[in-house]
Every structure is written in C-alpha cells, then in structure tokens.
Structure 1
Amino acid sequence: MEAAVSCVVNEGMPTASCVAKRADTSFGELYKPCLLPDSAYTSRMYLASVISFFCVLIYLFFGLNVYRANPKAQANRVFLALCLNYMLAALFSMFQYSALSLEACLFWNTLHLPFSFLSVGLLMHFHIVLCTTKKQPLWVYVLAYLPSLYFIAYAVSGRAYLGDFALGPYGWYPRLMAPPLISALNVGIFFLFLAIELALLVLYRRRSRLRRVKRQARALMHAMLLSFAVSGAYNALVLGRGLPMPLLPFALQLIWIAGIWFALKRYDFLGLSISFASRQIISHINETLLLCDDGLTIVETNERFRKLSGYADDEALGLSVSQLFVGEDLNALVLRLQSGVEQQGTVEACLRSSAGKAIPVMAYASTLRDKAGELEGLIFVAEDLRPLKQLEALNAKNETLLNEKKLLLAEVHHRIKNNMATIRAILNLQASASDNAEAAAAIGDAENRVLSMAVLYDKLYRADSYRKLSCDSYLSPLVDEILENMPTVAAIRVEKNLGDFDLPADALLPLGIIINELITNALKYAFKGRASGAIYLSAESAGGIIRIQIADDGVGLPDQVDVGKSPGFGLSMIESMAKQLGGSVRLNRGERTAFIIELNAAACPA
C-alpha cells in the first residue's frame, strides 16, 4: 500500500525528486534520503539538530548535578527524571529535524511526542514534592499524570497530533498544528497546571519564615513565567505565522529547567534537609536528641528521647518546644539563639513526659543554619539529671558526717604537731643538760630531724588536701625553720628556686629529713673560718623526674667523703631515705659543693 504522506518542498528550496515509500518500509530504510539537497542547504538543515544535541547535554548535566548531591531526596529524584525525560525528547527531535525522508521524520516525531507530553506530569510532580511537607495520597499523583497519559495515548494511537510536515531551510517543521479541539484542550491543561504550580509556590513561600525559602520560591516563579512568555512569543511569531522553523519546545523549556536548577543550587536545597538528616543521623545517636524547625516545632526525635519521655514513635512530632520543656532559663536561651546573639548554650530545665511528669534535664541547644546564615532549626541534647539529683540528696545527708571526718583528721595532725613540739623541747633540755659535747651534738641533730616532721604536720594541718603539698609551701618554711634554730651560724644567705609542683604527702617526711640533714651539715661545716656564705636550694619536676639540688659555696668536702662511702650516720641516712623514695643521691664537686637528689615521680609513695 502506498504511503499516505508525501514529501513537500518549499518554494526557494533546491529541486529534488521524491520517492514514495510503502507503508511497510523497514526501520533501516527510514533514514534513506528522498531528497538530495545541496551542501549549503544541508548545513542549515542540521542547525536544529545541533541545538537539540546541546539541549541533550545540558539536561543531562542539570539532572545528574542535582541527583548526585543527595540521591535519597525525593525532590532530587523527580528532578532527575524530569531532566532525563526532556533529554530523550531533545534526542528524538534531533533525529526528527535532520531526517532525510518524510517517513523518518514522522517516525522520530512519534517517539518524541510521548516524552514531550510526559513532562507536564513530571513538572507537576516536582512542585508537589518540593512545596508540600506531608506525603500526598496516590490519587493526587494520578491526577497530575492523567493529562499526560491522555495525550500520550492519543499520539501513539496513530492519529496525527501535528499536521503535515514540510522540509524547510532548517529541517522538517509542522505546517499545521493539532486539531482545534486537541489544541484547545492542550492549552487549557497547560494553563491549569501552570496556575496550580504557581499557587503551590506562593503557599510554599508564605508558609516559611526563611528568607532562603522565599528567595527560592521567587526564583522558581520567575523561571516559570519567563519560560511561558518566551514560549508564547515563539508560538505567536513563528508557528502562528507559518514560518518554516522547526518546533523546539524542549529548548524553550530549558529556561524553566535551568531556573529550577539555579533555585536548588543557589539556595542550598541540594544538601541534607532537616527531616532527611534527622532520620539518618539522630536515630543512631545514643544521647537524647530532639530536632525542631525554625518555628520551634519538633520535627524529629530519637529512641532515647522516647524512652525517657514515654512518647510513642511520632507522638511528639508537631509539638512546640515550650510544650516539651519547662524552664525560664531555657526560654531565654531559645530567644537568644533565634536572635543570633548566641549559637549554642546549656541550661538546666525540665522535660515534660507524656504522663505530665517533670523530668530534670541538662539541655544543650545549638542552632542549625544554612550557608547564607539563615536559621534552619535548633537541635537539643538532653541529659537526664535524676541520678545526679539522687546523688546530691545522698551527699547532702552525708555532708555533716564528712565535715566531722575532716575535723577529726585535722585534729589528729594538730596533735601530732604538738607532740613533735614536745619531743623537740625534751631533746633541747636533754642537750642543754648533757656535759658531753658529742652527745649534745647528736641530740641537736635529732631535734632538727624532728623539726622537719613538725613542719610537715603543721602544713598538712593547714592544707586543703591531706594527700599532697606543693613543693614550695613545704620546703621553703622548712629551710627557714632550720636557719632560725641555728642562731650562732654566720651570715649565711639562702637562695631558693622552687618549682610549682605537688609532692605526695607520704614522700614529704623522708624528703624533709634529707633536706634538713644536708642544710644542717652545710651550716655546720661548709663555712668554717668565713664570715658569710650562700646556700642554694632548687627543685624542679620535668619528664616525670623530680630533681632537688642543695649546693653551697663553702670550703668543700674532703675527698674521702662521698655518698655511700662516708663512715658518718648522716650521709648513710640520706642515701637510705633516697632509696626509700625510689631515687638516688649524688655529690658534685666543683666551684660549688652540690648534692643532687633525683626521684621518679611515679615511684614515689602516694
């Protein structure tokens, strides 16, 4: 059977012979030329195809760019489908405009039309997803796609939607539009859907207090209206006047799609929204968390919150922060966060459970802002204070007993100090009554050793902690006491360089005896025959090592005297005490005679 269409060549076109095709023409023959135009005409003819090809690439970029930013967001997935739909429409149009036979043109047009009609439903679908906060019932989406399905069925039924095609200077173009009834229906549905989408954007803009959302809605409306204006002008100036120009609706719709892409990209709708982020993040955190929007409405909670408050899965959603939290401090903090005075804060408040019970919590609140600095919402982290309150109540009951124990321990140290003073007095009397000079000297040495213990217990009695004392607060007064108890000593100057670090209480007694022994010996023997001299005391703690040095600028020690070799009791006792502390003592001879005590801080008794 002969084909029902014929090739039409416009006036001014190069002459060509048209070969009629049969209705059973194979797919491989669809691109077989029935016209043999000259080369200049061919270059103009492919212009529409080049435009179509660039539209294919641009639509693909827009869709993938949005989708890759957040593949799980429903709006992003619908936008990708919309872009892919326009991409296929442009692809088939590219083949249609550059077809070298009428049969090929009609074939590719049949494939192009369903995707062109489907875009109407996809655009409505996108605006429903973007502008509504709740999931819509299935029948809403059925109504959105119903016109598209009708026109697709009309186009694939074999009835021509567009009229006769002619070959113009830029490729094939429709000389006649669809039948008047179908065209009127198409225009009516287009205007109806345009009005619905504009209404959705207006409500979307008014419902939010965010400037970012308002600007985004305004950008979407501007893109929609600009695309509509350009399409109307094109149809009136080109198609309405019967000019031999290809139909490029997908190219004009590129204005709309580019506007949507810009609105999503510019106003940060590609990232995680509050509702999406909450599901993915909050549910995996063990702390009690709540998420609210910029209107202080709870949009998400996690399992720990539901266990603490007794609310069911979604029972707390939609409540305001003031309905869940009670406390003037928290209300004031929320106002400061909303105004931008603070970005985060912590206050004590009460969480109202589902049963109406007030649960004391420590509430940490922080703002969630977009890149433009607009407030998106607040996140609350609440810590249950009931165990702490119970502990505070228990501590209050035991506070009296604890104070009594502190007083008792202080009294013990005070009595020990008094006993030390008594022992010193007895030793002093004994030394004064002794006719043996060596015995009196030995008793005096014992008195000085008791002095170091008395100083220690006096400091422990006055200290806030009985477990440790600072190096300076113990050694400095100890040296002063030793100097006061030896009034016959020459004018000896003592220079102290004591670091600010703590010493454990159990290490202080043997350390005090060592310091007492070394300074007493220096006062007795280092400055014989001299009117003055100097003793240098330094202490430091670095790298876990405590280093104490006692030096003098006196006459020095005989060569046969050394730590561990001296026949006297004093140096032997010093070495024994240092080993008791897990340390060592060494003697340095030089311009100054110096004893260096090194202790391992970790090895000292605690």
Structure 2
Amino acid sequence: MSPALVQLDEYLGQAFHRMPVAMIVVNQQGTISRANGLAESTFGYASGELLGLSVEALVPDRFRARHPQYRQGFTSEEHARPMGAGRDLSGRRKDGSEFPVEIGINPVVTGEGPVVLSVIVDLTERKLAEQRIKDALLQKDLLLREVHHRVKNNLQVVHSLLDLQAMKVKDPEVVSALRDSQNRVRSMSLIHQTLYQSTNVAQVDFNQFLSELMVGLTEAYRSATGRVDIHMQAEDVRLPINEAIPCGLIINELVSNALKHGFADGRSGSIWIKLQQDGKHVTVQVENDGAAIPEEHDLRRSGSLGLQLVNLFTRQLRGTLEVHRANPVSFTIRFDLEETA
C-alpha cells in the first residue's frame, strides 16, 4: 500500500468501513479512491467496482455535464458542508436507476493531495414515509371536509323542517320559539359551512362566521332593521370547533335577546360584538345600549331559554360570565382554549 493511502487510512481509521452511511473519497481528478461497503451496495456495485471510477458515474445523466465544475469547487472548500443545500439531490445506481440522496462533503488534505470525503444518505425510505404521511393527511382532510359538509346539510334540513312547522302554527309564542330554534340551527350550520370553505378545517375564522351570522339574525328580526346597528370586531380570531360551536351559540343568543328585548317598542341603538384572542385566552363581549336588565331579574335562574343556554355553554367552555345590566348592557365571557396534543 502506498504511503499516501496509509496516511489516508490513518485519517479515516477502521470507522470508515463501519459507519452506517455510504462514504466515498474522491481525489482531485474526480476519481473514486476509496469507498466503504455501504457505498457499494447503495449504488449497486460489487466489492471493489467503485474504485477508479469517475465520481460522475454516480451522478444522473442530466446533471453529469455540470458536475465537474461543482467538483472543482468542492476541493477548494475549507470546511465540511452539505452539498446542494436547498435542492433535491439524486444519485445514480449502476443499473441507471435514480434515488434521492443527501450528501455531506468534507475536504481533507492527505499525502496524495486534497481529497473530498463524501457522506451519502439514501433518502428513499424517508421520502416514501413522507409521501405516505402526506397521502394520509390528504385523506384525513378530505374526510373532515365531507363530515362537515354532511353535518351542515343535515342542519339545513332541520332548519327547513322548523320553518315548515312554524308556518302551520298560529300561536305567536310557539312561532317565536320555533324561530329562535331556527336561529340556533343556522348558527351551528354556519360554523360548519365556514370550516368547509376554509383552507384550515381545524379552526373557524370567527370574523367570517360573525359576518354571515349577523346577516341571518337581521333577516330573522326584520323589525329591528334600520333601527339597530351591529358592530363587530373579531379580526384574527380562529377557534377550534369544540370551542367555536358553543361560542357561536352564545353570541347568537345574546344578539337575539338584545334584538328582541333590548330594542323593543321601536327603540333604536347599537350592538357591539368583540372577540379577542391572546394565545389560548379568549374574551367574548356582547354589549348594547338598549333597555336595561331589571335588578330583580335573576340571570342565573332566568326563565328565558336563551339565557339558560348562555350559562350552559359558558360552563361547557369552562369559562366565566360577567354581566353589566345597564349603560351599556354587557355580557363578557372569558375562557381558555384546550391544550392540543
């Protein structure tokens, strides 16, 4: 063995052939002077076949013409670095087939002159695993969209059935109760519709949801149209569906109550809906400058189904409810989002 190769062996040591990655040594002429067993099997060569070959034999045909220029730059490097950072690299096997690789290059000065020690990692299994994950996520995304779509359609059917029932009933109180139930169903349906139309099926864009919900409520309470202005502030608030549904129903109840009771008898004014999200902390505030809530009215034991639902959904969110009875009438709900795994 030549002195130069002895020095190279001293540098590499026995670890060269024991490393669990493919390793080759390329001299200044671009010839492979050393290759471990894993490099030979990775590229489909028998023992010793890589020695003396041009390193371009391991480069796909379409990149081969430019590779010598890159290789000359490798030998002038002073520090180890990844090859082709930011680009997908491919290796070429003896049979001409290609496979994805990751390559690290390390310039080494030896008795035979500067050489480049290359470490090659076969990414075939990793790429296949990544593709399987992408396919699984795509299937999950499609399934979630289909589920949300079907739930939304079913809720719309319930909404239509309530509408048919309301048209057959003469008692104004029963009609009012049926219309309130319609609004609740519409609120849930809108949440699923917002999810279905969103690029993110895990969270509801509440600004979009509120805009559509308010259109529905103003249509349901036409008597307040032109007299009551509704202002919304919910930019950049996105809630998981487990929190979005009860939160949406709370807002539906509070705005409905304000339109029915706060602005009765031709009273005019405004309703303000504000949502703020600070990390996992969410604050929902619904205010109006309509009629005050009487002090003798026990909100915790109210006969109103709407207020009972507000208390129920607040407990479901594990939140707190604060009420200000006048100037303005204000309901503030604070809750924390669940930790996600």
TM-score (norm: length of structure 1):
0.44
Question: Is 2:297 the partner of 1:556?
Answer: no
Closer, same or farther in 2 for the Cα pair 1:498/1:309, shift >3 Å?
same
SS in 1 for 2:183: helix
Unaligned runs of 5+ in 2: 75-81
C-alpha distance 383-451 of structure 1, shift in aligned 2 (>3 A): same
Cα deviation digits, residues 103-158 of structure 1 (max 9, x gap)? xxxxxxxxxxxxxxxxxxxxxxxxxx9xx63349xxxxxxxxxxxxxxxxxxxxxx
1:452/1:399 Cα in 2 relative to 1: closer, same or farther (>3 Å)? closer
C-alpha separation in 2, matches of 1:304 and 1:501: 53
Does the 8 A contact of 1:535 with 1:550 survive in 2? Answer: yes
Distance 2:201 2:20 in 1: 40
Question: Structure 1 residue 325 and structure 2 residue 51: aligned?
Answer: no
From the two aligned structures, give the one with the greater strand fraction: 2
User: Number of matched residues?
Assistant: 327
Q: Is the 8 Å Cα contact of residues 141 and 201 (structure 2) preserved in structure 1? A: no
- Match of 1:495, SS state, is strand
Q: 1:280 to 1:405 in 2, by over 3 A?
A: same
Q: Does 1:442 align with 2:177?
A: yes
Structure 1 residue 512 displacement after superposition:
1.9
How many Å apart are 1:332 and its aligned residue?
4.4
Number of the residue aligned with 2:77? none
Q: Give the 3 Å change call, closer, same or farther, for CA 519–280 of structure 1 in structure 2.
A: farther
> Corresponding residue for 2:208?
473
Amino acid at match of 2:217: I
Which of residues 162, 175, 193 is equivalent to 1:458?
193
Show CA shifts across 1:362-381 (max 9, x none).
Answer: 334557599xxxx9747454
Task: Give 1:283 deviation, angstroms.
Answer: 7.1
Residue 361 of structure 1 corresponds to 100
| Shift in alpha-carbon separation, 1:359–1:390, aligned structure 2, 3 A | farther
* Inter-partner Cα distance in structure 1 for 2:218 and 2:71: 63
Structure 1 residue aligned with 2:161, among 423, 428, 434? 423
The 10-residue stretch of structure 1 (554-563 or 403-412) with the greater mean CA deviation from structure 2: 403-412
In the alignment, the residues of structure 1 paired with residue 294 and residue 4 of structure 2 have an alpha-carbon distance, to the nearest angstrom, of 95
- State the partner residue of 2:79: none
* RMSD (Å) for aligned C-alpha atoms: 4.5
8 Å CA contact 2:324–2:331 kept in 1: the answer is: yes
Is it true that 1:134 corresponds to 2:5 in the alignment? yes
**Which amino acid in 1 is paired with 2:174?**
A
Q: State the one-letter code of the partner of 1:349.
A: S
Match of 1:579 among 296, 315, 330: 315
Q: Which residue does 2:244 correspond to in 1?
A: 508
Deviation at 1:324, TM superposition (A): 2.2
**In structure 2, distance between residues paired with 1:562 and 1:591:** 18
1:352 is aligned to 93
SS for the counterpart of 1:576 is helix
Q: Distance in 2 between matches of 1:289 and 1:588?
A: 73
2:253 counterpart of 1:517 = yes
Equivalent of 1:542, from 278, 284, 290?
278
Q: Which structure is higher in RCO with an 8 Å CA cutoff and minimum separation 6?
A: 2
Aligned identity (percent) is 20
Which residue is 1:89 aligned to?
none
- Whether contact under 8 Å (1:537, 1:549) holds in the other structure is yes
Distance 1:531 1:333, change over 3 A: farther
Assess if the C-alpha contact under 8 Å between 1:556 and 1:589 holds in 2: yes
CA deviations 1:565-606 (Å, max 9, x no partner) are: 4343222211111222333322245753332222321169x9
User: Structure 2: which amino acid aligns with 1:419?
Assistant: V
Amino acid at match of 2:55: V
Whether the 8 Å CA contact 2:271–2:286 is kept in 1: the answer is yes
Paired letter, 1:593: V
Distance 1:329 1:389, change over 3 A: farther
SS at 1:513's partner residue?
Answer: helix
Per the TM alignment, residue 488 of structure 1 is displaced from its structure 2 partner at its CA by 1.0
Deviation of the 1:542 alpha carbon: 2.1
Equivalent residue, structure 2, for 1:385: 124
- Residue 503 of structure 1 aligns to a residue whose secondary structure is strand
Conserved? CA contact 1:585–1:595, under 8 Å: yes
* Conserved 8 A contact 1:351-1:361: no
Evaluate the alpha carbon distance shift between residue 577 and residue 327 of structure 1 in structure 2; reply closer, same or farther with a 3 A threshold: farther
Three-state SS of the structure 1 residue aligned to 2:229 is strand
Structure 1 residues 326 and 548 mapped into 2: Cα distance closer, same or farther (>3 Å)?
same
CA deviations over 1:479-523 (Å, ceiling 9, x no partner): 232123211115322222214243222433322211100111122
- In the alignment, which residue of structure 2 is the partner of 1:198? none
1:592 has 2:328 as partner: yes
- In structure 2, C-alpha distance between the alignment counterparts of 1:420 and 1:292, rounded to whole Å: 73
Deviation at 1:532, TM superposition (A): 3.7
CA distance in 1 between counterparts of 2:175 and 2:306 reads 16
- Tell me, yes or no, if structure 1 residue 487 matches structure 2 residue 222: yes
Q: Deviations over 1:245-272 (max 9, x none)?
A: xxxxxxxxxxxxxxxxxxxxxxxxxxxx
State the AA in 2 paired with 1:481: G
* 1: CA distance, partners of 2:303 / 2:258: 17
Residue 434 of structure 1, CA deviation: 2.1
Higher fraction of helix: 1
- Aligned 8 A contact 1:347 1:364 in 2: no
Q: Name the SS for the 1:134 alignment partner.
A: helix
Superposed CA deviations along residues 31-63 of structure 1, whole A, max 9, x for unmatched, are xxxxxxxxxxxxxxxxxxxxxxxxxxxxxxxxx
Q: Which amino acid in 1 is paired with 2:209?
A: Y
Structure 1: distance between partners of 2:67 and 2:324: 65
Q: Deviations over 1:211-230 (max 9, x none)?
A: xxxxxxxxxxxxxxxxxxxx
Cα distance in 1, alignment partners of residues 302 and 68 from structure 2: 76
